[in-house]
Structure 1
Amino acid sequence: MCEFGLKELELLHAKMAVAVSEVQKIELYSILAPAIFYAWYVSIVGKAGAYLDLVEKTLWIPPVFILLAGLRMAMQRSYIRAAAEYTRKIEDHLAASCSCQASNTGWENYCASQGQGGWTLLFRVVFWLGLLGITIWIGLDAHEIL
């Protein structure tokens, strides 16, 4: 059982690394995409002429993008949390079946014993709400801001 458990643990760690990488990319693109959009908006708004009303309606694209990206990130976080819980079970089983004397062996068990997650959740919520709030504010007050 030890060999199968170790292989499964290795596979789970690889999948979680990919999921964490995707979360980081989502966060990066969620900052870059609105910045690129607003740069385009500033360059085009003076040339819009008769299409100014249509161009101004595009200011709601960044908040919608941020909302969708935030939902996608929440889905990834949910997957990571489930994979971490399952990893913790495998680590417990491996510790018991492989004659490991140490308690809380494995990375997920260590993180759980240290209370990891509360601060990162708070920072992520502040990040996403702040980003969404800024893009909504720009959408409402574009004439004064941009």
Structure 2
Amino acid sequence: MDLLVNIDVDDLEKAVHFYGNAFGLRVGRRFGDFGAEMLGSSAPIYLLVKNAGTPASDTMSQVRGYERHWTPTHLDFVVKEIEGAVQKAIQAGAQLEKPVATHKWGKLALMADPFGHGFCFIQFLGRGYDEIAD
């Protein structure tokens, strides 16, 4: 099974610029004004234009909004050096929501992209998650 990541955005060029500069991703393919495939991660990331205020689903009343929002699913980007990755993302337009925290398994930075989506940077230390696995 393959994994694809889809991220709704309201401004495709802004999103391509952010994800390119913040994470070093590159455009693989463009889908007109409706989307772009970003490559350079372990899974392709598709930026899909969805206007703010449009229904998120036919089965609910919630509409899309691009202010900071919470969702139980987010992206974790594993990096070799977290401080540099955080600064690069901030320069591209991300927000650092909590200072970098160090845990037994590694370092963690909680962040948000310019479209309100949360993401994290992780720098594994020692054996990574195996440091806390049973």
With the length of structure 2 as denominator, give the TM-score of the two structures.
0.24
Relative to its length, the structure with more strand (as a share) is: 2
Relative to its length, the structure with more helix (as a share) is: 1
Structure with greater Cα Rg = 1
Higher normalized contact order (CA 8 Å, seq sep 6+, divided by chain length): 1
